[in-house]
Amino acid sequence: MKLIIGNDHAGTELKFEIQEYLEEKGYEVINYGTDTNESVHYPQIGAAVAEKVAAGEADLGILICGTGVGISLAANKVPGIRAAVCSDVTTAHLVREHNHANILAFGARIVGSELAKDMVDAFLNAKPLGGRHEERVEMITAVEKKYSK
């Protein structure tokens, strides 16, 4: 599975830790975030990572900013993207199973690295459940289409 990870300046250290963790597990990880602590604009990174996931250049994405919120808001403006901010393991697998999320977002100022790794595992090991959940995800897509004209 190919993953893409993006972060702003608030998430640089956690990004490196997560990237290393995933590569040790055998995942291919595209690093699309900043590698320094110099201030950058999270909307640009969130949108760029989302565009690559939507284009199929990566199977799933991970986004990190201070809270996970700003970067996910930008990502969610890209058609076909469902970026979910999580700060617990249960939500991290349910967003994949029920909401068919294709990007996991979290905040480096909110969660510690062990929790972040557990959330990443939960997200990546979960599978979209389809069925009634698929129907609801299609309803979300319909809202997206309604306002994208």
Using CB under 6 A, list all residues that contact ligand RB5. 8, 10, 42, 65-67, 69-70
Q: How far is the CB of 77 from ligand RB5 (least distance, A)?
A: 14
Contact (Cβ atoms closer than 8 angstroms) between residue 46 and residue 83: yes
Can 65 be counted among the known catalytic residues?
yes
Task: Give the nearer residue to ligand RB5 in terms of CB position, either 3 or 65.
Answer: 65
Q: Where are the beta strands (DSSP E) in 11-94?
A: 28-31, 60-65, 83-85
Q: Is 7 helix (H, G, I), strand (E, B) or coil?
A: strand
d(CA 136, CA 139): 5
Task: Give the nearer residue to ligand RB5 in terms of CB position, either 10 or 81.
Answer: 10
Both structure tokens of 32: 């699309």
Q: How far is the CB of 20 from ligand RB5 (least distance, A)?
A: 21
Tracing tokens 């110099």 back to the chain, one arrives at 38
Can 98 be counted among the known catalytic residues?
yes
Out of 9, 41, 65, 133, pick the active-site residue.
65
Active-site residues, by number, are 65, 98
